[in-house]
Structure 1
Amino acid sequence: MSELPYKSIPEMLKANAARFAGQTAVSYKKGGEWISLSYEHLYERVLMAARGLKKAGVQPGDRVAIFSENRGGWAISDLGIQMVRAITVPIYATNTAAQAAYVINHSEAKIVFVSTRVQYQKLLSVRDQIPDVELIVSYERFMGDKALPVYTLFQLSEISYPLTESEQQEIEAESEKISSEDLLTIIYTSGTTGVPKGVMLTQANMIADAWYGVKQLGGMESSEVFLSFLPLSHVLERTAGYHAALMYGCHVAFAESVDKVVENILEVRPTTMVSVPRLFEKIYSRIYENVHQMNPFKRKLFHQAVEIGRQYVYCRYVHRQPVGLLGIKYRLADRLVFRAIRQRFGGRLRFFISGGAPLDKTINEFMWIIGIPTFEGYGLTETSPAVTLNNIDEVRFGSVGRPLEKTEVKLAEDGELLVKGPQVMRGYYKNPEETEKTMTGGWLLTGDIAKIDGDGFVYIVDRKKEIIVTSGGKNIAPQPMENELKLDKYISQAFVYGDSRPYLVAILTPNLERLLELAHQQNLSYFDMEDLVSHSRVRALFAERIALVNGKLPSYETIKKFVLIARDFSVEGGELTPTMKLKRKVIYETYRDKIEKLYLENGNGGKG
């Protein structure tokens, strides 16, 4: 690990507090105004938090939990925890009280940082289940209950009392004892099935992933502005949108919430962002909805511009050929069409990084066409997370890029992707059995079926456990089909099912805006959304849309029947993980009766 620039995140922060002292490190919105902390000021706040944690009795190796949405306090807490050589245990802000209690108990955290009264109330409701918790530290002021003491981060940090020189020296001396192999964090996988597992990641794991990930992108200037909106409790945002940014002296602005991202983009005008495919799906859908409303001339101009853009992108970036006259055509298309689209992203956005789930090839191409290259990568919580990443010089649409430097990949006999590298976890916390199942001979078994082409680009086919095996013995990957369905202007989300069954069925959620527009145009009579999705004309429309997708597939992969439900799958509803992956078992159990009915109709039931 000697090639890495730092042995720990605290060492990095101290160095950058001097190197980029007056530059903005983080910013967040409070009371309608953006508040910024310079690198020097951030470091001071982190040292104060560390001082408070030491006074609260936190010892090296202790676990300290953070139960919060993204905000400045999250970063200050996490860095303060590391400064005293403790271990950060993030909890998704969307977790229920019971889920949070599991993580707290399993990690044996005695102190929990929370964002608001809402998270505090969750913990208070399960106080009897978390008896070892001694202290709650909140980022907002409110009255707590004597059964669960609460202080603010300001109170813990004793913000009114400047750090003395001796206090700073004592904290820095402690942080200098951190080795690269010390645990930085335990992240409990959200998981699409089963009980969460605590992934143990070291300082070296996360520094290596951030360092080699940025090298794969060709480096980074300190002038970059990140807008952070994915949960910091997820390793993708933490490494790519937070650690990597601070490592290079960049500015990280924390979005107010997922709902405010569009508004915050225009305020912050970021140069780069990390996202999951759901955002790009919504961007793509919204743009094409607007095109649908245009007059015929503008609509034709848009489609011509997109076609020119597609040819230009493939010529310049994929085939690496001179663009010639095509470059002039693209510049004209850009001036007439694409520039206005980019202004909706603040006008400075240079690129996106996409991870967490497969990004549809058509949507990825479109983002490049409009002048916002979107670098799709692949990784797991267990790999800190990045394993592979496309970049401006090496891109293959449909692939997740080539492995990062110092990272090896290979395929097992059944096509499962195996990974070895400096970013691979130490193991699962207090779970040697699962660690042994997942690590073999130094290789991590990813659980993903993949292909690797002659140039070393990796293509993810599907999750090994999610491959559908029909009763006819056909192996079918559901994700590509679901992605194809989601490209339809009327379909928001899709879930394909058919394991051990004679044919495939789907649960679809509609694009409600489009559906309501259709109902208005055709004067459909309905009582509520449940009534509308069961309307015969609506069902006929969705049958037609599925038929268009089926027409591209072999007969055994076609969807024979479907269920249309009146709302999107959601994290709150339990159907999605915090990174927007489908929880297949939950969706099946939730809609079991509707799914089973599709197989019972026409006497074609059972699992035969």
Structure 2
Amino acid sequence: MDQIPYQSLPDVLRRHAAELGTRPAIKFRKQGSFVVLNYAQYYDRALMVTRGLRKLGIEPGDRVAILSENRAGWIIADMGILSAGAVTVPIYPTNTPEQVTYALTHSEARIVFVSNRSQYRKLLKYHDALPQLKLVVSFERFLGEPGLPVTTFYQLSEIDDPILDDERREIEGVIDGINPDKLATIIYTSGTTGIPKGAMLSHGNLLFDAWYTIKKAGVLGDREVLLSFLPLSHVLERTVGYYLPVLKGGLIAFAESFEKIAENMVEVKPSLIVSVPRLFEKIYSRIFESVHQLSLFKRTMFRRALSIGRRYIYARYIEHRVGLLLQAQYLLADRIIFTKLRQRFGGNLKLCCCGGAPLDKEINEFFWIIGIPIIEGYGLTETSPVICINTFQQLRFGSVGTALEQTEIGIALDGEVLVRGPQVMQEYYKDPEASREAFEDGWFKTGDIGYLENGFLFITDRKKELIITAGGKNIAPQPIENLLKRDKYISQAIVFGDRKPYLTALLVPTLERLIEFALENKINYNDVADLVVHEPVRKLYEQRVAAANESLAHYETIKKFQLLPRDFSVEAGELTPTLKLKRKVIAEAYHDKIEEMYAEH
């Protein structure tokens, strides 16, 4: 068993600054062109932040928050906080003022980094409830309000004053004192239900998880280019999209926005991206919509190529035995069709990491077929997050892979997945009762239902989200929702039926496809709310749902549905920042529509 050669996260950056020096570390767009910082510059910028924090009285163990979208300043601030021996408290930039206030007060953060005035205004709303907050540091320049002072990131860092030798020695003395057991971060769970809990993760938790994920993946080199767009406040992006490439001496390039990901992929040519299933679902839909526009001959060629590709990936990655004829057929399909699809991703993508929610098996297979392997794994905020992953050597579609080294997975009598290993959190911050409830005989209780098969873990659903019908059937809603979302006319779906006689669903149409359908069928309408109640639209969706029902057991079929005129959103509180459905919120918001589907029973 190999030993992790680092004591802390800042220790990694310090060593890389000395050993790699001029190797590119961070890439971001500023005023229209890309700026690149190498490892030595990244480290110096982080030490400047540390210097500024220490002048403000930040001591080891103090909490400092970051409330910002992804940007270079985020990871520079984080390393600066950690190098001071302090604790980073990341807050989702999509959080409401109430949620922001809760995280800041509960963690007792003394300083908060914000991206802009919009985030600052969230602090102003409940300023009186934040007496411990002494200063706001902004990545962008704006004037603060009386009583809540603002300084800029550059002013805090004193960017024009290089780190002096004695300052460097003093800070590095602090870094030397950070051992793997020291607390690195408190991450508040985004929470599909209940009050957020602060998971306490140590330097050792995060280092272990990144180090052994790299080792298990087995294909990551020391010059990977990662395109960062998933929120850094999410533990998956934090560990796999930030600490992991820093551990490998790779380059982290920041996407300008979620809307510009496709454009940035072509510019940056990443070899690695980290995402949640929603991105892959959308790309899959768009590709198949493009195929739908092709001639019959080209559509037939595409389907033939996919059929060859599916046989090839199973032969190569599952059976580990590929015949010469199949190899030749796949190479031809790849040259004619799949290579062109990969160019949309920059042409250099080695693999994608996917977590946060289950990825539909058919979508996963499709990306492997076209030569963009998605390494699906599983974990939680409380486990830093990776517990297990699929790899090129150990792959089962539909599973979330096999465990990392030194990590044990168990299944409780009720089917709940249990885990223990060096990546599991210390406890929940200031919540001994929740901490006690989270563990049983040394095992962390994940709250997910699953099973093990030949070492591979299969997750079937969240323990609290299982639907138990009036007839006593236990049904996992997510696989049904994923099946519905594969339809080109359905953007989002949520299934109901707990203690009810049958399943129902709320469906959000794919707006572009629905508008095309309305034009083709000459439907007159005022707005989307008007369009979704038109009889031809209703009949269309009845057909689409009936087609999905054909592959389901009778008790799993959707008997009734309602069409909604808008997407579920983070802003409306219906999705978590990682785009998971908040079932309770949606059920309350659409209570009347749901009950209407059961009214005639």
CA distance in 2, matches of 1:220, 1:299: 35
| Residue range with higher mean Cα deviation, 367-376 or 217-226 | 217-226
Contact conserved, 1:281 with 1:363, CA < 8 A, in 2? yes
Match of 1:543 in 2: 542
Q: How does 1:235-246 map to 2 (within 5 A)?
A: 235-246=235-246
Q: How does 1:325-336 map to 2 (within 5 A)?
A: 325-336=325-336
CA distance in 1, matches of 2:27, 2:38: 9
CA distance in 2, matches of 1:148, 1:2: 49
Per the alignment, in what secondary structure is the counterpart of residue 136 of structure 1? strand
Match for 2:172: what amino acid?
A: E
Encode CA deviations 1:380-420: one digit per residue, 9 max, x unaligned.
00000000100111110000000011100010001111001
Structure 2: stretches of 5+ with no match in the other structure: none
Match of 2:179 in 1: 179
CA distance in 1, matches of 2:323, 2:144: 64
Name the Cα RMSD after superposition: 1.0
Encode CA deviations 1:420-461: one digit per residue, 9 max, x unaligned.
1000000100001011011112110001110110x2011000
CA distance in 1, matches of 2:471, 2:325: 52
Match of 1:560 in 2: 559
Encode CA deviations 1:169-189: one digit per residue, 9 max, x unaligned.
000001110011000000000
CA distance in 1, matches of 2:396, 2:2: 32
Matched, 1:472 2:471: yes
> 1:301 and 1:219, CA in 2 relative to 1: closer, same or farther beyond 3 A?
closer
Query: Structure 1 residue 506: deviation in Å?
Result: 0.2
Encode CA deviations 1:240-297: one digit per residue, 9 max, x unaligned.
0100000010000011121111111111110111111001100100000000111111
Per the alignment, in what secondary structure is the counterpart of residue 186 of structure 2? strand
Contact conserved, 1:316 with 1:323, CA < 8 A, in 2? no
Match of 2:363 in 1: 363
Contact conserved, 1:399 with 1:458, CA < 8 A, in 2? yes
TM-score when scaled to structure 2?
0.99
Encode CA deviations 1:357-393: one digit per residue, 9 max, x unaligned.
0000000000000001111000000000000100111
Query: Structure 1 residue 355: deviation in Å?
Result: 0.5
Match for 1:551: what amino acid?
A: E
Per the alignment, in what secondary structure is the counterpart of residue 597 of structure 2? helix
Query: Structure 1 residue 336: deviation in Å?
Result: 0.9
Query: Structure 1 residue 121: deviation in Å?
Result: 1.3
Match of 2:53 in 1: 53
CA distance in 1, matches of 2:313, 2:591: 44
Structure 1: stretches of 5+ with no match in the other structure: none
Contact conserved, 2:312 with 2:322, CA < 8 A, in 1? no
Match of 1:128 in 2: 128
Match for 1:596: what amino acid?
A: E
Encode CA deviations 1:40-66: one digit per residue, 9 max, x unaligned.
000000000000000011011000000
CA distance in 1, matches of 2:592, 2:402: 43
Contact conserved, 2:225 with 2:251, CA < 8 A, in 1? yes
TM-score when scaled to structure 1?
0.98
Q: How does 1:147-158 map to 2 (within 5 A)?
A: 147-158=147-158
Per the alignment, in what secondary structure is the counterpart of residue 428 of structure 1? coil
Match for 2:173: what amino acid?
A: A
CA distance in 1, matches of 2:288, 2:457: 30
Contact conserved, 2:561 with 2:597, CA < 8 A, in 1? yes
Query: Structure 1 residue 468: deviation in Å?
Result: 0.4
CA distance in 1, matches of 2:40, 2:115: 24
Match of 2:432 in 1: 432
Match for 1:495: what amino acid?
A: I
Match of 1:291 in 2: 291
CA distance in 2, matches of 1:335, 1:237: 33
Match of 2:320 in 1: 320
Matched, 1:391 2:391: yes
Match for 1:294: what amino acid?
A: L
CA distance in 1, matches of 2:286, 2:379: 28
CA distance in 2, matches of 1:252, 1:288: 30
Contact conserved, 1:468 with 1:499, CA < 8 A, in 2? yes
Structure 1 vs Structure 2: percent identity of aligned residues?
56
Match of 1:460 in 2: 459
Contact conserved, 1:353 with 1:377, CA < 8 A, in 2? yes
Contact conserved, 2:28 with 2:253, CA < 8 A, in 1? yes
CA distance in 1, matches of 2:590, 2:291: 35
CA distance in 1, matches of 2:361, 2:391: 15
CA distance in 2, matches of 1:27, 1:129: 37
Query: Structure 1 residue 219: deviation in Å?
Result: 4.8
Match of 2:407 in 1: 407
Contact conserved, 2:27 with 2:253, CA < 8 A, in 1? yes
Match of 2:528 in 1: 529
Matched, 1:263 2:263: yes
